[in-house]
Amino acid sequence: MPTSHVKRAFKFRFYPTPEQADVLARTLGCVRKVYNMALAARAEAWAIRQERITYNQTSAMLTAWKKTEELAYLNEVSSVPMQQALRHLQGAFTNFFAKRAKYPRFKSRHKSRASAEYTSSAFRFRNGELTLAKTVEPLAVVWSRPLPEGAVPSTVTVSRDVAGRWFVSMLCEDSGVKPLPVLDTAVGIDAGLDSLVTLSTGEKITNPRHERKDRAALAQAQRDLARKAKGSNNRAKARTKVAKIHARIADRRRDFLHKLTTRLVRENQTLAIEDLTVRNMVKNHALARAISDASWTELRSMLEYKSAWYGRDLVVVDRWFPSSKLCSYCGSLAKAMPLNARTWTCGCGTTHDRDVNAAKNLLAAGLAVTACGDGVRPQRSTPGGQSSMKQEVVPPQRTRAAAQPRG
C-alpha cells in the first residue's frame, strides 16, 4: 500500500458555545431523522414492490421532505451532513447485498453514535481555526497534537458521546506515515489476563485492569441511576455520570494500548500473535468482564493497521495451534494443559512458564511463515481492495478443544 496516500483521522475535543451546541444538536437530530426515514422508505419499497431505492432517489426524497410543513425544520441546519447520511446508508446497503454486513438498522437517539459528517463545502479550516456551516464562529478546539504539515482535511466529523463531550475528527492525508527501517528482530506475543501480553523475550506486560480501578465508583453510580424515576431530569444526570466513568475507563485503556502497540511495531520487524475467538470467550461469565477489560480485539486491530503503515509483518497464528501445550525446546506435545497450570515440565526435563512458552511457539510459527510461506491462509482484502500485510498460520492438525483464555 502506498504510504504516501495514507489517510488518518485526527480527533480533538472541542467546547461549543451554547449557540453552537444548539445548532450542532439539531444537526445530529436531523441526520438521524433523515437516515431513519430513508431506511424506512427503502425497506417499504422492497417489501411491497421488490424495488431497490438508490442514493439519487433518497436525495430527491430529502428535497421533497424539506418542502413539507412537518419537516420544514430540516432547512434550519446544513444540508451536507444529511446528504452524507444518505451516502452512508447507500454504503450500508451495498455491504449488505455483498454479504459483508447485516441489514442496516435504524438509529436510536440514546443508543446509536451521534455524529454528522461535513465535506469541504460545509466547513472552513484556515490558520488553525475550524468553522462549520451554520455555526458562525470558529469552534474552540483543543489542539492536543499538530496536524501533519500542509495537511488539508477532506472531511470533518462532529460527534457527541453519551457523556456529553463534543469531538471533531479531521480526515487528512499523512505524508509522515512511512515504512520504518528494516530490522532483524522478531517477537511472539501471547495475550493473557494476569499479564496483558507476554513476549517471547520473557518480558511480561502487566494488565492495568482499568475497569477494576473504577469498579466501586461505577457500581455506586449505577445504583444511583437505578433509583431515579424514568424520564426525570435527575435520571438524565445520573446517566451522564455513569457514562463519564465508562468514558474515563475507555480513554485510559485506549491510551495504554496505543503506547504498547506502537512500541512493539517500532522495535520488531515481525510480530506473531494468536487468532483469539474473543466473541466465544466472553460467553464464559466467570471471565467475561476481565476479557472485555483486556480488549484483545482492539490490541490486534492496532497491531494490524500500524504494521501495514510502517512496513512490518504481522503473522496471525490459527486459534487451534497448540502454543501452550507444545514444548518450545523439544517440540513434544503435552496431553492436557488446565488453565490453572502456570508452569509445567516437559518430558525432556525443561520447565516452562506457560505464557513465555506459548509466546516462543508463536514466534517460531511466525518465523516459519516469513521464511518459506508454508501453511499460510489467504487473507481477506482491506476495504480499499488492497491485501492486508498480515499472514495467518494454519496448523497441520486441529484439535477440537474449547477455546479458553490464557490468564
Q: Which CATH class is domain 186-207+252-393?
A: alpha beta
- The reported pLDDT for the residue numbered 187 is 94
Kindly report, residue by residue over 248-267, the tens digit of the pLDDT: 999 999 999 999 999 999 99
Q: Are 291 and 315 in contact (CB under 8 A)?
A: no
Q: Give the confidence band of 380 by pLDDT, cuts at 50, 70, 90.
A: very low
What residues does each domain of the chain span? 3-173, 186-207+252-393
* DSSP code string of 93-141: HHHHHTTSSPPP-PPPTTTS-EEEEEEGGGEEEETTEEEETT--SPP-B
| Band of pLDDT at residue 342, cut at 50, 70 and 90 | confident
Does the pLDDT of residue 323 top 50, yes or no? yes
What pLDDT, on the 0 to 100 scale, is given for residue 300? 93
Distance CA 2, CA 178 (A): 9
Average pLDDT over residues 134-155: 91
Quote the pLDDT of residue 3. 42
N-to-C CA span, the chain: 36
pLDDT at 309: 92
Burial of 150: CB neighbours in 10 Å, binned 0-12, 13-18, 19+? exposed
Which residues are known to be catalytic? 190, 274, 355
**Under 8 Å CB-to-CB from 125, ≥6 apart: which residues?**
131, 152, 153, 156, 170
- pLDDT of 72-111, one tens digit each? 999 999 999 999 999 999 999 999 999 999 999 999 988 8
Task: Give the pLDDT of residue 391.
Answer: 52
3-state secondary structure (DSSP) of residue 157: strand
10 Å CB burial of residue 127 (0-12, 13-18, 19+) is: exposed
Name the DSSP letter for residue 73: G
What is d(CA 143, CA 17) in angstroms, rounded to the nearest whole number?
17
What is the predicted pLDDT for the residue at 189?
Answer: 93
Max Cα–Cα distance, the chain, nearest Å: 83
Question: Which pLDDT score is estimated for 373?
Answer: 58
Q: What is the pLDDT of residue 389?
A: 43
How far apart CA 4 and CA 176 sit, in angstroms, is 8
Q: What is the mean pLDDT of the chain?
A: 87
For residue 59, give every residue at least 6 positions away whose Cβ sits within 8 Å of its Cβ, in sequence order, or none: 83, 86
Residue written as cell 482499568? Answer: 210
Average pLDDT over residues 383-397: 44
Angle of helix 79-97 relative to helix 55-66, nearest 10 degrees, comes to 150
Please check the confidence at residue 232 and state whether its pLDDT lies above 50: yes
Mean pLDDT within 169-178? 90
Residue 45: closest CA among 29, 24, 65, 61: 61
pLDDT above 90 covers what percent of the chain?
64
Residue whose cell numbers read 441526520: 31
Q: What average pLDDT score do residues 371-400 get? A: 45
Say how far apart CA 345 and CA 364 lie, in whole Å.
20
Rounded mean pLDDT of 326-344?
81
- Which cell goes with 352? 516452562
**pTM confidence score:** 0.82
Question: Per-residue pLDDT averaged across 116-145, rounded?
Answer: 93
